Amino acid sequence: MATYRSVFDAAELRAQFNDAGINTKFIASIWKYVLQNPGCKLQEIPDLPSPAYLLLRSKFKPLTSTVHSVFHSTDGVTTKLLVRLQNGAFVEAVIMTYDTRLGKYGGKPRLGGPRSTLCISSQVGCKMGCKFCVTGTMGFKNNLTSGEIVEQLVHASHLTRIRNVVFMGMGEPLNNYTALVEAIHVMTGSPFQLSPKRITVSTVGIIHAINKLHSDLPGLNLAVSLHAPVQEIRCQIMPSARAFPLEKLMTTLQTYQKNSQQKIFIEYIMLDGMNDEEQHAHQLGKLLETFQVVVNLIPFNPIGSSSQFRTSSDQRVSEFQKILRGTYNIRTTIRRQMGLDISGACGQLVVNLPDKRTGENTSLLTDIEDLRI
């Protein structure tokens, strides 16, 4: 069967247009039409030169992926999309609704209202093998093309207006670097027009890629899955950490922060008795005290009864936060869990089919991207 490329595979589409002598200025209008007209055919796009229609029809599809199913959480603010790719594999994307009024700006409540953040996948499965993350149990299947990454935003945009994008879904984004950079360039251009400040890329700490990130994608938010304050614990829970020693990673982040002049988000999953004790909080505080960071403490989501880890108690999480804030003056938030019942929460993204359930709206949340002010 012939494999078609997505029209959102920007580099491929541009190269084909250039080879055929078609002006690439038409690309933005193709994307706009596909975005605004779900289910359209390429020949329906108005005002293209005739060679463009021939080329598009022979090599491209408006979308190569389809939404297989949509799951609404009983929390009323989380929706998970199960997206089927052209090769038959599935990835997941999660829409989270937040309320900007819950953030603060200059000490006063922010203006605005509810809006949505999309959590995007960059790979089918993941090769990092973090022991607390169920996606890691799938192993690595394949990288997504830049078009398949962008199509998750297209699908989600048909359900709600997306203001923020976080690359915290399936996969390690910086292991699919070229496609990631290309996809984000598409998202920040016409017709999506997302601000780089509203895009966050999360990584376990792929040092060579972090070194390139600021020059390739200036203005972006970087989130680092640190999860332990010392290399030994990090290696126990994140086997990939052996390739990225903590000392080298912190030196890389120092350079990144100096060049970007931006806060770095630190993700820290709370595992009972493993990395959540008072000494760990002090070790983390000392590790980060020279940085401008926001630490995001993430309660662990047990993955079935077989999990080797337990969730830290609320009291332990709260004490950990107090040490980071009080002793080290580090901005620290606790992530409230969203979408647990649809396996849409942090560390739970693995292709499965939960029961379709919907629930009443509960209180809306403040979002990590609002913490940068």
Which residues carry out catalysis? 92, 346
Contacts of 278 (CB under 8 A, 6+ apart): 319, 320, 323
d(CA 300, CA 269): 6
C-alpha triplet 38, 44, 45: angle, nearest 5°: 85
* Region label for 245, one of left (φ > 0), alpha (ψ between -120 and 50) or beta (otherwise): beta
Q: Which of 368, 283, 302, 278 is nearest to 132 (CA)?
A: 302
